[in-house]
A and B are shown apart, each in its own frame.
Chain A
Amino acid sequence: MTADAPLKPPALELRGIDKRFGSVHANRAISFAVAAGSVHGLIGENGAGKSTLMNIVYGFHRPDAGVILVNGREVEIHSPQDAISAGIGMVHQHFMLVENFTVLENVLLGVEGGPLLARGLARARMELQKIGRDYGLEVPLDALVGTLPVGLQQRVEILKALHRGAGILILDEPTAVLTPQETDQFFRMLGRLRDQGRTVLLVTHKLREIMAITDRVTVMRQGAVVAEVVTASTSPRELAEKMVGRAVLLQVKKGELRAGPALLSVRNLSVRDSAGALRVKHMSFEVRAGEIVAIAGVAGNGQSELLEVLAGMGVSTSGEIFMGGFDLVATAADPRRRRELGLAHVPEDRLRVGVVPGFSAQANLILGYQDRAAFNRGGLMNDGAILADCERKMAAYDVRPPLPGLRLSAFSGGNQQKLVIAREVDCEPQVLLVGQPTRGVDIGAIEFIHHRLVALRDAGKAILLISVELDEILGLADRILVMAGGEITGELSRAEATEEKIGLLMAGVRGEGRA
């Protein structure tokens, strides 16, 4: 099948796609082609313009200039409906599913085949069973989508696209919600789709996935295509450099582990959510001075609730949290009291919890510390001191642009996160809680943030890191706790941890027997 490939026109070709949003030039004259029957990678950092481009291809946005060709023919795509008729299917990062509909109803939505449902439902059921057998995409058709695990929900999205006859499948960050094992399974499925002649465009920022599955890869940076290469002839390092535009260290250098006494101890902690479900079940662990303990797990397995309770934002059902001889639970310490005891918190959801987007950078830098004597004079804020503090931190943490008065939401994700890290690390906490420190952050800033966290550890502080990025965990942690279903399913030292072992524990498989 590769022999006649050059004769076929590309399944999807973009020529000179250009798009501006106000002053932001999101796509600059983008051109590339996706060969029919191949898996093509599109890689770039957050904000490189990948999503805008895909939204143009799927008809959500109109390009200012440029044309789209499908199978060698120029097509006008004004709406998702046009994209679907052109044979383009898209699986969005955030699933476009109606949770209280069955799988069948979700697939049928938009292609009902007539004003009444009965016949369409029967026909779709038969077709889905056939597609399911052909591609190994079996899903319980009458289950409510909201009750299915995310891996199956993703299958539903792919079934939707295939049911609409999509010859070209665009997948936007498809593996963000999957365990490593599920990801492997997912890639095998993509391989089968390719073998059956479908074309896959995989949009991601994960180098590992590009290397694992794609045939060719297009690299985007700052709204433009900067490289297009055959995957087999490149390396992760080369791709990373092209994405960032300079050499990057993919590994952080750490000093020898010199763990001291436990600074944070959690005993038998349980947390119930507002609906009454037990989200954290009898967790016990310690974080010692001079070590980074990471909690790995697929998103939604109780990590967020754990972090909230430790930071004092949520309430535990039972258990104890000890810090510096105090039981934070028994003394009902609020976040402010915890901060005084030396606990700092970089929240998972930066924009909702970590900052006030409409405030200036300098105001954001004192949030939570606004009562400190240094920032006050009489009953008023000491604006001069706050400004000076902000300027110092902006320089020390390489925040760009270094404008203390600028509205926080005007900074890029990476620079916003640097400001939060500056605020929480600079006060020299004894214990630092960090949730998803590099979510939505570009590679350059990731490197910087990782260095800062390691420096804090080397200074003998305790860090509890919660992340869904395995690379981040393997790069930073001294000890790894894996959470699944609200429980610790296993603990691994950095030396014994492998992606495979962590993956099995993330899936809830305990013990060494099957690892």
Chain B
Amino acid sequence: METYTVIVLLLAATIRVATPLLLAALAGMFSERAGIIDLGLEGKMLGAAFAAASVSAVSGSAWLGLGVGVLTAIALSLLLGFACVTHRGNQVVAAVAVNIVVGGLGPTLALAWFSLGGQTPQLDAAGQRFTALIWPWALSAREVPLPGLLYAELLSGHNLVVYLAAVLVPAAAWVLYRTRFGLRLRAVGENPQAVDTAGISVTALRYQAMIISGGLCGVAGTYLSIAASSGFVRDMTAGKGYLALAALIFGKWRPYPTLGACLLFAFTDALAVRLQGVPLPIVGVIPVQFILALPYVLTVLLLAGFVGRAIAPRAIGVPYTKER
């Protein structure tokens, strides 16, 4: 294969890997900007992945799967909100609890319902998955060297959720910086007292943020099980929720830098896949374990020093109580 073909395919893979990360990171942006540490991204995604795959398998409709996946993640998000906002519980503990429960509940229910060893049935019938959308003339454009290939592989040929994620970045930025809701959301993560004294309900705002976070996690999870693959398997999020959180911190809780961070993480991931078994100059073949660890090593390095100071929303992690 020619070099530029390799690069274009690598970039196309980057976009596919980045999509769930980006959706989860945007989800985290809403909840964390509202002052709630969102370690539950992982569990919410996983729950949605399971629900979407199950519903799609039973009903035969990917859209119904998406709907139920989103509702499931919203329900989990509201559960977290109930623990952290209403009952002022410890946000980290509550989120870890949700992650553990979902991690166990998904495979258990799958085993009970489908008897396939904790997986959901293979989704291969038409309409059960979100499949790649081929843009007009994409197939013939492939024959034209660089511009055609870029069009065919990079712009065309992704499923609906990928395009949705791309649109959601400017949408999130617009909501955050140009709307009343965004102003209040940013304020409540910085100084909830100021929001309260301005006559706005801190609780309502935080629940709204949790609903948005749940919805976005729902799309991300659905993507994993019925768009990027064809069914739910145990632990299929594989730490993507935590990686999304790292991307969010790396992006300093802002939409566009977060997009950049997600693309960077996804690129290392895509690169790792491509490098497996390929001999490199000087070092030779790198053991696959090292390559697979690359995105995580990069995360640690970036967060440890290269980011500069990431200043979190000031009130993050602190349940709001009116002072006496």
Contact = CB atoms under 8 A, between A and B. Distances in A.
Interface of A: 21, 52, 58, 60, 79-84, 90, 92, 94, 96-101, 105-106, 108-112, 114-118, 120, 160
Given A21-B324, A109-B198, A98 B180 contact: no
B235 interface: no
Contact of A101 (B179, B186, B193): B186
Given A21-B324, A99-B190, A109 B195 contact: yes
A160 B194 CA distance: 11
A80 B200 CA distance: 8
Interface residues of B, number: 22
16 contacts: A52-B324, A60-B322, A83-B199, A96-B191, A96-B193, A96-B198, A99-B190, A99-B191, A100-B190, A105-B183, A109-B195, A109-B198, A109-B200, A117-B179, A117-B183, A120-B180
B198 A80 contact: yes
A109 B194 contact: yes
B314 interface: yes
B181 to A, nearest CB: 7
Interface string B179-218: 1111110110011011111111000000000000000000
B190 to A, nearest CB: 5
B87 interface: no
A110 B179 contact: no
A64 to B, nearest CB: 15
Contacts of A108: 183
Contacts of B181: 115
B102 to A, nearest CB: 34
Given A60-B322, A80-B197, 18 more contacts: A96-B191, A96-B197, A96-B198, A98-B187, A98-B191, A101-B186, A101-B190, A109-B194, A110-B184, A110-B195, A112-B183, A114-B180, A115-B179, A116-B178, A116-B180, A117-B178, A117-B179, A160-B198
B178 A98 contact: no
Contacts of A97: 191, 194
Interface of B: 178-184, 186-187, 190-191, 193-200, 314, 322, 324
A276 to B, nearest CB: 11
B318 to A, nearest CB: 15
A110 B200 contact: yes
A24 to B, nearest CB: 10
B180 A80 contact: no
A256 to B, nearest CB: 46
B183 A109 contact: yes
Contacts of A117: 178-180, 182-183
A99 B180 contact: no
A52, A79, A98, A100 pick with most chain B CB within 10 angstroms: A98
A52 B324 CA distance: 7
Contact of A109 (B178, B179, B184, B314): B184
Contacts of A94: 193
Contacts of A115: 179-181
Contacts of B194: 96-98, 106, 109
Given A96-B191, A99-B191, A117-B179, A90 B197 contact: yes
Contact of B197 (A82, A92, A99, A114): A92
A60 B199 CA distance: 10
Contact of A80 (B179, B186, B190, B199): B199
A83 B197 CA distance: 10
